[in-house]
Amino acid sequence: MKARNVALVMKKDLRGLGRERTIVLAILLQLFVALFSSFLMVGLTSMYDPSSLARFSGVKYPVAYVGEPSDLDELLKKSGQFRVYPMDLSTAVAALGERKLSAVIHVPPTQKDADDPVKITLYSIQNDIQSTIVNVKLKDVFLDYEEELRRVRSERLDLIPVPLEFPESRSGPGFYEFIYGLLIPLLLFMPAVISAALIIDLITEEYQHHTLETLLSTPMTMAEVVWGKITACILIVPLQAGSWLLLLTLNRIPIAHIPQILAQVLSFSLVLVLIGALTALYYRERTAAQFIFSTAVVVLMLIVLAFPHNPLNLIALLATGSPVPKQWSILGGTLILCGLLGILTQLYSEKVSTRAPGE
C-alpha cells in the first residue's frame, strides 16, 4: 500500500466536501442543538426560580385563605411572596376565575396532631404558565408546613431517618450537570456519527456512480482507495470537535484535559468509521448500508452506555477536570478494537469486487 495513493484519494474527497460546503450544515446543526437545548434549560430554571426574572421580583401574588385559621396563614405571610386575603370560598373561587386572585387555599378544621391528615384544597387556574409558577412557590410554603406537622407528630414515627444538616443553599444556575454530563459528551459524539455516515456515502457513491472502475484503472488498489477515504473522514473529526470545544471555552465554559478528550473522540470515531466502511463495502448500496449501520450504531450505543466508564462517561469526567485513572486503559482497549477492525477492513477491501450488487 502506497501512502502517496492514500493521500491522493484523501485529498480528492476532502476537496469534494469543501466544494459542496454542506459540511457547514453539520456545524450549524451542532450550534442549533446547543442553542435550543440550553435555551430550554435556561427557560426551565428561570420559570422555577422566577426571582431571577426582574419582572416578577417584588410581585406579591394575591391568594385567598378560606377556612380554619392555622399556622399556614402565618407561613404564607412570612414568605413575602403572597398577599393573603381571608375570604369565603364561593366569592374567592369566582374572583379566581376572573384572575383577580392567583390561588385559593381552603384549610379544614383538622387538628395538627390529629390521627387523620390535614387535607388542604388548592384552587388554581387551569393550564396557565403563571399559575404553574404560583404553585411552585406555594409548594415551598406547603413543604414548610408539612415539616412543621411532621415535627408535631414525630413521636408517632417508628423508622427514624439519618439526620443530615445542609448548608444554606446558594441558589446557582443548575446547568452544570446538563452542560458537562449531557451536552458535551453528546456534542462530541456527533462528529463521530457524521464521519461514519460520510464514509458510507463516499464508498457507496463510487459504486453507484460507477466511478470506482475508473479509479481502479489507475495504479491504485482498492485498499488504498478505502484507506484514503477513511483518512479523510477521520481528519474532519478533530476539526469539528476542536471547534466545538473552542466555542464552549469562548462561552466561558472551561473544559479541562482537551488533548485527552480529543484522543478519546478520535479513537471511538475510528471504530465507528471502520464499522461504517465495512458495512458500505458489504452492501455497496447507500440505502441498505445506511439503514443497517444506523440501527447497528443505536444498538452499540445502548450497550456501551449501559456500562460505567464508557468513553462518553470518560469525556464528561475529563471535561469537568476530574482525575480519570482509567482513561488510558479504556483508550488502549478502543485502539485494540480499531486495530482488529482495521485488519478486517484491509483484508475485506482486498477481496471485495468492484461491481455494485445486482450488476
What residues numbered 161-200 form the site for another protein, per CB under 8 A? 161-167, 169-170, 172, 174, 176-178, 180-182, 185, 194, 197-198, 200
Q: Is residue 99 within the footprint of another protein (CB under 8 A)? A: yes
Number of residues that bind another protein (CB under 8 A): 149
Query: CB-hemisphere CA count at 13 Å for 212?
Result: 24
What CA–CA distances, in Å, run from 167 to 48, 164, 170, 171?
Answer: 21, 10, 9, 12
Least CB distance from residue 252 to another protein, whole Å? 11
Which CB sits closer to another protein, 295 or 339? 295
Q: Is residue 213 within the footprint of another protein (CB under 8 A)? A: no
The helix-helix angle for 184-208 and 258-283 (nearest 10°) equals 30
Which CB sits closer to another protein, 162 or 250? 162
Q: Is residue 215 within the footprint of another protein (CB under 8 A)? A: no
Report 268-327 residues binding another protein (CB under 8 A): 282-283, 285-288, 290-292, 295-296, 298-299, 302-303, 305-310, 312-313, 316-317, 320, 322
Check: CB of residue 124 under 8 Å from CB of residue 136: no
Check: CB of residue 72 under 8 Å from CB of residue 145: yes
Which CB sits closer to another protein, 165 or 217? 165
Containing 84, the helix (H) or strand (E) segment is strand 82-86
Least CB distance from residue 182 to another protein, whole Å? 7
Check: CB of residue 324 under 8 Å from CB of residue 258: no
Check: CB of residue 228 under 8 Å from CB of residue 13: yes
Interface residue with another protein among 7, 8, 12, 23 (CB under 8 A) is 23
Q: Is residue 59 within the footprint of another protein (CB under 8 A)? A: yes
Least CB distance from residue 2 to another protein, whole Å? 25
Which CB sits closer to another protein, 117 or 339? 117
Check: CB of residue 267 under 8 Å from CB of residue 185: no
Check: CB of residue 346 under 8 Å from CB of residue 223: yes
Q: Is residue 139 within the footprint of another protein (CB under 8 A)? A: yes
353: CB partners within 8 A, 6+ apart: none
Q: Is residue 73 within the footprint of another protein (CB under 8 A)? A: no
